Amino acid sequence: MSRPTIDHRGPEFAELTHRLLDGVRRVFRTRHDVFVYPASGSGAWEAAIVNTLSPGDTVLAFEQGFFAQGWVKVALGFGIDVRVEPWDARRGLTAEAVATVLAADEARRIRAVIVVHNETSTGVTTDVEAIGRAMRASGHPALLFVDAVSSLAVTDLQHDAWDIDVTVTGSQKGLMLPPGLSLVAAGPRAMDAQETATLPRSYWDWTRQREFNARGAFPYTPATNLLFGLEEALAMLEEEGLEAVFARHDRYSRAARAAVQAWGLEVFARDAAESSRAVTAVLTPDGHDADRLRALILERFDMSLGTGLGPYKGRLFRIGHLGDFNDLSLVGTLGGVEMGLRLAGVPYEPGGVDAAMEVLAS
């Protein structure tokens, strides 16, 4: 990423653009449109909404967690009527839950369903494939919006095969880049929705992007240095192979859960199969402030754990294990947690690191 910035209107740049967009398509597993913005991931949430919806449209969401709520807030800011269904945040959203609401929507008012694939704030993963299948089976025309910020290039996600309409992500998780890019995959139904969507849009407008992208350009000054980094990240993913990348994160996730279980602590996700491959969220015992533990670990071991967000503030901490990470990084990370638990006086059983090594070495 330290290469000199090249002329973003020149021929060399056009070739880079085409190469990058093809690579992004392969990661999203789509043959359709993809867009790359200089923006944070929340910009991609906004892009999904302003390109497909009109004020007063109804959108369905569930209480999956902090980031689901973040997308809901953006929608509300655009005058969308968001119907937020209650949901146990410790469980992955089920196809059944979605299907039930859609079945009841006889007037077909719901224009889109917001689903977070890996809810980073809770470490809970949802079976998006099942939801996509159920939605199509229902015959309901609602679009499926998926937040893949911490799942793309971490765990399996197939934009086309799973009938997703809009998938959004950022550069700083599975793509191993600094933050600063947001990426969107938009299927044909989402692209068509632009024609009737009346929300005003300019920066996020897909039609204009598509026109510029077709000739290898962007409708704004692109963040060239992050694009150079993206090229490198895509090459690294292709070299390792997406299946191997997924298997690696799955192993990290199993090892982290084994450690938590050995400590006698509770993983936030009720069902192991639904615990995120990117981040493991751990509840601290009652009366033990997770943020005090996090502060101690930062101070003592220079390691930054994720905080509990929203209602879980002080109640859980999150162990990230994604991106440019290996087995020994995980052992070191879990060692930092285990020593932190001890130093903070949180009741726990030793042996977490041992349990993780058992998984990693088998």
- Choosing from 159, 201, 249, 321, the residue that interacts with a copy of itself (CB under 8 A) is 201
Kindly state the tokens that stand for 17: 């653009």
- Report strand pairing: 279-283 vs 266-267: antiparallel
SS3 62: strand
Q: Shortest distance, CB of residue 198 to a copy of itself, whole angstroms?
A: 10
The residue within the footprint of a copy of itself, chosen from 110, 166, 193, 353 (CB under 8 A), is: 353
Count residues contacting a copy of itself (CB under 8 A)? 70
Residue 306: in which H helix or E strand, if any?
strand 306-307
Give the interface segment with a copy of itself, choosing from 26-34, 57-65, 138-146, 353-361 (CB under 8 A): 353-361
| Closer residue to a copy of itself in complex, CB, 47/164 | 47
- Stretch of 98-106, 159-167, 245-253, 342-350 contacting a copy of itself, by CB under 8 A: 342-350
Distance in angstroms (rounded) separating the CA atoms of residues 340 and 201:
48
Region from 104-112, 157-165, 223-231, 276-284 binding a copy of itself, contact rule CB under 8 A: 223-231
Do 270 and 257 form a contact (C-beta atoms < 8 A)?
Answer: no
The CA distance from 278 to 147, in Å, is: 14
Binding of residue 335 to a copy of itself (CB under 8 A) = yes
The kind and range of the H/E element at 252 are helix 242-263
Part of the chain binding a copy of itself (CB under 8 A), chosen from 185-193, 209-217, 279-287, 349-357? 349-357
Which residues make beta-bridge pairs with 62? 85
What type of residue sits at position 142? A
Q: Is 351 in the site for a copy of itself (CB under 8 A)?
A: yes
Site string for a copy of itself, 37-76 (x = CB under 8 A): xxxxxxx-xx--------x-----------------xx--
The rounded distance, in Å, linking the Cα atoms of 140 and 119 is: 25
Biggest distance spanned by C-alpha atoms of the chain: 61
**Which x/- pattern over 241-260 shows residues binding a copy of itself (rule: CB under 8 A)?**
--------------------
**Integer Cα distance of 169 and 106 in angstroms:** 32
User: Count of CB atoms within 10 A of residue 215's CB?
Assistant: 9
Cβ(233)–Cβ(184) below 8 Å:
no
The only residue of 14, 84, 130, 180 in contact with a copy of itself, by rule CB under 8 A: 180
Residues of this chain that interact with a copy of itself (CB under 8 A) are: 1-2, 5-10, 37-43, 45-46, 55, 73-74, 77-79, 170, 172, 178-180, 199-203, 205, 219-226, 298, 300-304, 307, 326-333, 335-336, 338-339, 342-343, 350-351, 353-354, 357, 360-361
